[in-house]
Amino acid sequence: MALKLMIQGTTSNAGKSFFSGALCRIFYEDGYSCAPFKSQNMALNSYITSEGLEMGRAQAMQAEAACVEPSALMNPILLKPTSDIGSQVIVNGRVRGNMRATEYFRNKKMFIPEIMSAFNELDKKYDIIVIEGAGSPVELNLKADDIVNMGMAKLADAPVLLVGDIDRGGVFAQLLGTLMLLEEDERQMVKGLVVNKFRGDKTLFDDGCRILEERGGVPVAGVIPYIDCDIDDEDSLSDKLESRQKGLVNIVVIRLPRISNFTDFDVFSQYDEVSVTYASKTSEVFDADMIIIPGTKSTISDMKWLRESGIEAAVLRMAEKGISVFGICGGYQMLGEIISDPENTEGGGEIRGMGLLPCVTVFRSKKTRTQITGRMEMLTGPLSSLSGKEFSGYEIHMGETMVKGNAMSRFDNGISDGCNVKNIYGSYVHGLFDSSDISREIVKSIFEAKGLTFGGKAMSRKEYKESQYKLLADKVRENIDMKLIYKILQEGV
């Protein structure tokens, strides 16, 4: 049986995912096999495993940090919001259907056997399981049926570390208030406090640690500095979506209301003098040297927003000027002529697309989930240098797209993907840009189109991620009491 440790936070975005990932890497470095686990995750950023199963990207990141194969067992329940009041429910990697929030909360305890079946499989295989909570454990109106915070800690018999975000301010209220609102048996399960995202001289918080320990009756396991670390983020709270910094080359990603898998574009930030910004206003689109329309969990709804916001018109104007426009997954569907949802898969209806690619998309109830490899076809336009380049990635979508023009790529199984007409490109492949050959050629073509010399070196995405996992683990190890962490693991609850 594995040793267990649960990481809970005082708020969403307290840093639970990153801290859990850091511990996964530290345990790996210390010679242990380690698996991440989150019983229920709500996120639009997802990952497809080698078996073609879907899981939250945060747990895939943590598995990579632990140097183990990501598995849907690590995230048995994934909720992907389709509206403000409903989500697609994915259980053990497969779509179970769409549910309104009230229906899910009324029935979520029925998923406990499947959650525990997944957890028990990991329990047999690994030395340590790092369990991540969600939001706050003291949302009092939700505690009765909790399956992801203290409810999960009890099911797993796991000691808890409670993480607070000092960068937001109010860390004493966060940590001490959370302890105060926990039930007595739950409070006894909290074995350590972590102050996260500290800026400045840490010795200035020595009195703060003393106060937390005296009033909370729980040791402070560490004060973690604010770490500038580029690893996959879980959801739309990501700071990168707010970045407005411009470089010599500006890649503009349209910030759709239901944007998903925006980590597809992180690779471009590795290159010097390249900025990746997320645009939600027409004025921001006109700064683009390349425009990307990303994936979305609600294609028709986001196409309406694109049109009503005026951003569609701005993209069309930039396309007429010869700027490259690249659509991924839902963004690819929007570039076509018609998007239709006759089976009410994502809300139903039909809408005219942007008309930049000769293709029509019809949504079906069956979801495509697969990892793939392939090669680019002979492309036209500014990105023609991508022709013949190899890639790997994954598909995750509900729609089927019929293409009347040239395919953009061909998979190794012989199936074609995407479409290319002049400076317009569309593909279903997430992770397409992670190939250093492809990302480098795109950046190089933009530099040259602006009359600039490109001298950037391409580091493989895998090597880059490894460097960031090491950075994260090193910084956390320097600022956490690992002797206390191992003591908590050994003693349990």
Catalytic residues: 329, 430
* R_g of the chain computed on alpha carbons: 23
CA-wise closest residue to 107 among 145, 63, 151, 61: 145
What residues have CB less than 8 Å from 169, skipping those under 6 apart?
Answer: none
- AA letter at 337: E
What residues have CB less than 8 Å from 360, skipping those under 6 apart?
Answer: 336, 337, 338, 340, 401, 402
- Using DSSP's 3-state secondary structure scheme, residue 272 falls into coil
Query: What CA–CA distances, in Å, run from 13 to 139, 200, 477, 489?
Result: 15, 20, 21, 24
What residues have CB less than 8 Å from 401, skipping those under 6 apart?
Answer: 332, 333, 336, 359, 360, 361, 419, 428
- 258 within 8 A of 301, measured Cβ to Cβ: yes
- 391 within 8 A of 425, measured Cβ to Cβ: no
Beta carbons within 10 angstroms of residue 211's beta carbon: 14
Label residue 169 left, alpha or beta by phi (over 0 means left) and psi (-120 to 50 means alpha). Answer: left
Residue with tokens 């089927």: 400
| Phi/psi of residue 197, nearest 5 degrees | 65, 45
**DSSP line for 190-254:** EEEEEEEEE-S-GGGGHHHHHHHHHHH-S-EEEEEEP--------STT-GGGG-----SEEEEEE
Helix H or strand E segment including 282: helix 282-285
Beta carbons within 10 angstroms of residue 228's beta carbon: 8
Measured between alpha carbons, how far is 297 from 339 in angstroms, rounded to an integer?
Answer: 14
- The alpha-helical segments, DSSP class H, found in 66-205 are 101-107, 112-125, 150-156, 171-181, 184-187
CA-wise closest residue to 91 among 104, 79, 103: 79
| Phi/psi of residue 261, nearest 5 degrees | 50, 45
